[in-house]
Amino acid sequence: PPSTPPPSPSPSSPPPSTPPPSAPPPLTPPVMPPPPSQPPPSSPPPPPSSPLPLPPPLPPPPSLPPLSPPFLPPALPPSSPPPSPPPPSTPPPSTPPPSPSPSSPPPSTPPPSAPPPLTPPVMPPPPSQPPPSSPPPPPSSPLPLPPPLPPPPSLPPLSPPFLPPALPPSSPPPSPPPPSTPPPSTPPP
């Protein structure tokens, strides 16, 4: 009988051995942390930042604005034509003289109508003389304009050509002023 008890203690010993195995399992979870090592691959995103340098190419556009200045000069020539309209105001004075004559003899009105046509033809010849005097001033003005044009030639060479054409049109307006001179000739007759 006494020999039987000893066997029992031995079985009791195995149970304690079970707890130790439980400890090793916790070690496996620590292995999970390695996955975080994947985030490093996310570092490549910085390369995308490199595309940002592309914006610098935008600065070149500023060169285009120079084209706008050329447009301003053309606008100035148009302003010159308006002055020409004033001359017509002078001819009116010549018309009043004829009116008095009609008041005295109604029949005489027809004859006056004929003279007016003759006066227009006379007008053309005088203008031919005044033109010589008027042209001198225009040349002086165009000369100053050329200097400013040299700078823009690089980009807007085409625009400069347009400016010269605009100047010729401005010259015709000066001719209208001469009509103001013919009126004085009418009083003598």
Q: What is the pLDDT of residues 146-185, one digit of tens each?
A: 555 555 545 555 544 455 555 544 554 455 555 555 555 6
- State the distance between the two ends of the chain, measured CA to CA, in whole angstroms: 175
Q: Residue written as tokens 């017509």?
A: 88
Amino acid at residue number 7: P
pTM: 0.08
pLDDT tens track, the chain, 189 positions = 655 655 554 445 544 455 444 555 555 555 665 544 554 445 545 444 444 555 555 555 445 555 544 455 555 544 544 445 444 454 444 554 444 444 444 444 444 455 444 544 456 554 444 444 554 444 444 454 555 555 554 555 554 445 555 554 455 445 555 555 555 566 556
**Arithmetic mean of pLDDT over the chain:** 51
Instruction: Classify residue 174 by burial, with Cβ atoms within 10 Å: 0-12, 13-18, 19+.
Output: buried
pLDDT of residue 159: 47
